[in-house]
Structure 1
Amino acid sequence: MKLVVLGLSLSSSWGNGHATTYRALLSAFARRGHDILFLERDVPWYASARDMADPAFCRLALYEDVEGLAAWRDEIARADAVIVGSYVPDGVRVGARVQAWAGGVTAFYDIDTPVTLGLLESGQHDYVSPALIPGYDIYLSFTGGPTLRRIEGRHGAPAARALYCAVDTDAYLPTGAAPRWDLSYLGTYSPDRQPTLERLLIEPARQMPESRFVVAGPQYPADIDWPANVERIEHLPPADHPAFYGASRYTLNVTRADMIVAGWSPSVRLFEAAACGTPIISDIWPGIDELFEPAREIALVTEAVEVVDLLGRNGRAMGAAARRRVLAEHSGERRAALLEQLIGEASNRRLEPSLTTGKDAA
């Protein structure tokens, strides 16, 4: 299969979770024998922070603007499938061109589904529009559950299917390193996540001054009152994620408010930490218990006192159980196999009208 992907970024993981998701999914897709071209808008904030400028599993090409995509029109036309991702700059114009040029299956891969739907309902159409959604053969959604029916019923998608984020289990492995921190958190600053981070990490840090905590990620305001035992790391490239998780006795998963409301919206960090065998403490949202078994594979909490209690326990067995679950159900290989299946089903649906017409004519 020849696949073309137009995504936010593959080359840089700075300030976004898209790059690691694409890397895990597409490297596994390539191992299944497929040819991949990834087209990425050349923007200065990623140009200065590229940590995968020459991927081994696909061709990566940069384009300057929407008009510059014309250089890749033939590739898009000949591809068996073309995927346009969420948050692609000028995504509506990009999607319109893809739908006009593509000869194969077209898909929208929404790695930000609850955010996207909120924007659509407020009239903001930055990277996908109501008119564009029905033109995609598949709406691949970071969010599963009831949201899929909403995408089909309210927004006219012919087929909305869950394609959760994935982890490269060859890269994310237990390190066996001695713990450096009792509790870690990895994530870009988000105003709606900050109250949960305050409650489930910063408050426990204040209550446990002899314990060690760390928050890694960019864009945190300078006026946050970090306790002395909370270390800050401004940016942690993906190559350093396994070591970071391996040095954590526990790690914290914090979910954005709109994704909690939608449910069934796992962050890629959730799978990455679990793949490293690091025990996870998480906030609670609908569907999380379908991804990991509470108490056995993940600890679900609401208050600081629960975190303090957990940090007094050994979580190795829970971390090992979570890793087994990821290997069985949430690896890049599993997601790549599912993507292959979904593209095949969409291709068959495209053929159905012509097959029916042929039978009628006969």
Structure 2
Amino acid sequence: MRIAFYGSSLVSAYWNGAATYYRGLLRALAARGYEITFYEPDVYDRQKHRDIDSPDWCSVVVYEGTVAALKRAAASAAEADVVIKASGVGFEDDLLLVEVMAAARPAALKIFWDVDAPATLQELRAAPDHPLRRALSSLDLVLTYGGGDPVVRSYRALGACQCVPIYNAVDPETHHRVSEDPRFAAELAFLGNRLPDREARVEAFFLAPAARLGNRRFLLGGAGWHDKPLPANVAYIGHVPTADHNAFNATPHAVLNISRASMAENGFSPATRVFEAAGAGACLITDAWEGIELFLKPGEEVLVARDGQDVVELMRKLTPASAQQIGERALARVLGEHTYAHRAAEVDRVFRDRSSRVEAAE
């Protein structure tokens, strides 16, 4: 089957947290025989910060950030068997949804793929005339980056025919163990862009513990933190290219995952960082959120912190031997149950099941 996928960016992870998710899933779907074309707008300087070349497993079409170019790209949806519009494309999202679905053939599977369900649902509830809300009943399927039953129930209540969470995972070919790199030496490291609904949690779970553990080196990576006051023992290294993520995860004593507030409140939304870290055999400490046990076992495959005090206590107790054991168990768990090959098999099943239902109803 041919897939036309309209998303933020496949070739650039610059201010684009969905890049790893897209790459892992689409690569695994291509391995199952899907022919995929990814359409992305040239916005936010992403093309100036490309971190991969156009892959051989997916055609990439970059269109100008103009309405005319958007409409030309959307018209290509008519050639596909599966048409997917993702959330957060970054240029005229509402118009893109309308144009893409209007161009899709009647027999094509029409899908909205939400990579930030809590934010999207909040927007839809506040706007009864929102283009996506009006379109939900005409779409065949909503797929989400995470969210579990709460998100499924919310989408169904708003009119979606079917909603299925497709969680993050690890691609063993891109995220794996590597040798330690002195650039990333630290007791605890955190990688994440500075975002409004994450900043207070970074202060609580990372910066406050760093201030209390002043004799230990902390490492902060990600865009936007350059003017943030930091404790003296926190080293800020800016944007970390995806090519360095394995070393960033494999080198420190432990790495920290801090969810955005909306993701933590909703639960069942493991970030790509969780699986990147586990794939590199890192000892991961994550903030607490409902559903973590579906992916990693707390206390054995991941350490869970309810607040900054927990982070301090976990760091004081953690030894090199225990950190290594946790990392090894996490790696075994994600390779056994949470690779993008596992997720692609689920997506393939959902696609085929939904297609057969649509055909039977015609």
Q: TM-score, normalised by structure 2?
A: 0.91
1:12 matched to 2:12? The reply is: yes
Residue 181 of structure 1 aligns to a residue whose secondary structure is: coil
Q: CA RMSD in A?
A: 1.9
The residue identity in structure 2 corresponding to 1:235 is: H
Whether 2:207 is the aligned partner of 1:202: answer yes
Deviation at 1:52, TM superposition (A): 2.2
186, 190, 197: which is aligned to 1:192?
197
Shift of 1:176: 4.1
Q: Counterpart in 2 of 1:139?
A: 142
- Matched residue SS, 1:130: helix
Identify if the C-alpha distance between structure 1 residues 347 and 66 changes in structure 2 by more than 3 Å, giving closer, same or farther.
Answer: farther
Is contact 1:82-1:106 (8 Å) kept?
yes
User: In structure 1, how many angstroms separate the alpha carbons of the residues matched to 2:198 and 2:73?
Assistant: 39
Q: What letter is aligned with 2:356?
A: N
Structure 2 match to 1:85: 86
Q: Distance in 1 between matches of 2:353 and 2:70?
A: 28
Contact 1:4 1:82 in 2 (8 A): yes
For residues 85 and 53 of structure 2, what CA distance do their matches in structure 1 show?
Answer: 20
Does residue 212 (structure 1) correspond to residue 217 (structure 2)? The answer is yes
For 2:33 and 2:294, locate their aligned partners in 1 and report how far apart those are by CA, in whole Å.
31
Q: Offset at 1:157? A: 0.6
| 1:27 corresponding residue in structure 2 | 27
Equivalent-residue separation in structure 1 for 2:85 and 2:169 (angstroms): 18
Q: Which residue of 1 aligns with 2:166?
A: 163
Q: CA deviation at 1:305?
A: 3.3
Q: Distance in 1 between matches of 2:135 and 2:231?
A: 48
Residue 19 of structure 1 and its aligned partner are, at CA, apart by 1.2
Q: Relative to structure 1, is the Cα distance of residues 49 and 124 closer, same or farther in structure 2, using a 3 angstrom cutoff?
A: farther
Contact 1:137 1:158 (C-alpha < 8 Å) held by counterparts: yes
Tell me, what secondary structure is at the counterpart of 1:48? helix
1:359 corresponds in structure 2 to none
Residue 264 (structure 1) aligns with: 268
| Distance (Å, rounded) in 1 between the aligned partners of 2:71 and 2:126 | 32
Structure 2 partner of 1:129: 132
Tell me, in whole angstroms, the C-alpha distance in 2 between the residues paired with 1:91 and 1:51. 24
Q: Aligned to 1:241, which of 245, 255, 263? A: 245
AA aligned opposite 1:99: M
1:98 alignment partner in structure 2:
100
Structure 1 position 187, deviation (Å):
0.5
Once the two structures are TM-superposed, the CA of residue 75 in structure 1 deviates from its matched residue by 4.2
Distance 2:110 2:305 in 1: 40
Name whichever of 67-76 and 50-59 sits farther off. 67-76
Task: Specify the code of the residue in structure 2 equivalent to 1:55.
Answer: P
Q: Which residue identity does 1:214 align to in structure 2? A: L
- Which residue pairs with 1:337 in the alignment? 345
Farther off after superposition, 275-284 or 309-318: 309-318
**Post-superposition CA distance 1:301-342 (Å, at most 9, x none):** 123332233223231111111112211222111111111111
For 1:100-140, what per-residue CA distance to the aligned partner results, in whole angstroms no more than 9, with x for missing partners?
221210111101000111112232988x6211222221100
Asked if 1:277 corresponds to 2:281, the answer is yes
* Matching of residue 180 in structure 1 with residue 185 in structure 2: yes
What letter is aligned with 1:94?
L
Change (3 A) 1:72 1:192: closer
* Aligned mates of 1:347, 1:307 — CA distance in 2: 47
Pair 1:125–1:274, CA change in 2 (3 A): farther
Deviations 1:33-90 (A, max 9, x none): 2211000011152122111242222110112234324545664223121111111222
- Compare 68-77 and 164-173 and name the one that shifted more: 68-77
Counterpart of 1:350 (choices 330, 340, 358) is 358
**Structure-1 separation of matches of 2:94 and 2:169:** 26
Q: 1:325 aligns with which of 304, 327, 333?
A: 333
Quote how far apart the aligned CAs of 1:270 are.
1.0
Instruction: Count residues in correspondence.
Output: 351
Aligned to 1:76: 77
Structure 2 distance, partners of 1:211, 1:291, is 30
Rounded to whole Å, the distance in 2 between the matches of 1:232 and 1:109 is 34
Taking the aligned partners of 1:353 and 1:38, their CA distance within structure 2 comes to 29
**TM-fit CA distance, 1:148:** 0.3
Q: Distance in 2 between matches of 1:55 and 1:5?
A: 15
Give the Å deviation of 1:188: 0.6
Shift in alpha-carbon separation, 1:261–1:309, aligned structure 2, 3 A: closer
Match of 1:360 in 2: none
Q: Contact 1:148–1:162 (CA<8 Å) still a contact in 2? A: yes
Aligned-pair CA distance for 1:199:
2.2
From the superposition, tell whether residues 231 and 122 of structure 1 become closer, same or farther in structure 2 (CA, over 3 Å): same
Normalized against structure 1, the TM-score is what? 0.91
Do the aligned partners of residues 28 and 183 (structure 1) sit closer, same or farther apart at CA in structure 2, a change above 3 Å counting?
A: same
Cα deviation per residue 1:232-254 (whole Å; 9 max; x = unaligned)? 12111111100100112111111
Task: Please list every run of 5 or more consecutive structure 1 residues that lacks an aligned counterpart in the other structure.
Answer: 355-362
Letter in 1 for 2:81: D
